[in-house]
Amino acid sequence: MEYSGSCLCGKIQFKVIGEISNFYLCHCEYCRKDTGSAHASNLFFGNGVLKWIQGEEKVTTYNYKGTRHNKSFCSICGSGLPIDFEDVILVPAGSLDCDIKKTPDGHIFMDSRGDWDNHLEAIKAYKKFPI
């Protein structure tokens, strides 16, 4: 399979070739902090190949000292981007420009979940901004 993606401003484009090994919604304190959300939505490619189509020089990678937490992002718009570890490629699901057929395999680091992140399916949902 081949998956294409880009950042919000479009200056960086990439593709990942391979099969999705796992799809996790990570609630760890680091993922919550760097996404500003309840969780990160991360695709893992165990035997994938990451190819930068354009803008690789605009990719910044942050390594949180003393942890295994790393994040790649666009130095212009800040969008999360894939990161190629030694044994796995991690891809933020929202960075893809194509559909994926895989549903998440599960939530991880639930002990770090925000106290407001409970029963969210029960709150009112809107199709667009409610103004």
Report the predicted TM-score, pTM, of the whole model to 2 decimal places: 0.91
Beta bridge partners of 23: 43
- Residues 6 or more apart whose CB falls under 8 angstroms from that of 34 comprise 40, 62, 69, 71, 80
| Domain 2-114 annotated CATH 3.30.420.40 | no
Low-confidence ranges of the chain (pLDDT < 50): none
pLDDT at 120: 85
pLDDT at 86: 78
Condensed to tens digits (0 to 9), the pLDDT of residues 17-29 reads 999 999 999 999 9
DSSP string, the chain: -EEEEE-TTSS-EEEEES---EEEEE--HHHHHHHTSS-EEEEEETT-EEEEEE-GGGEEEEE-TTSS-EEEEETTT--EE-EE-SS-EEEEGGGBSS---PPP-EEE-GGG--TT-SSGGGS---SS---
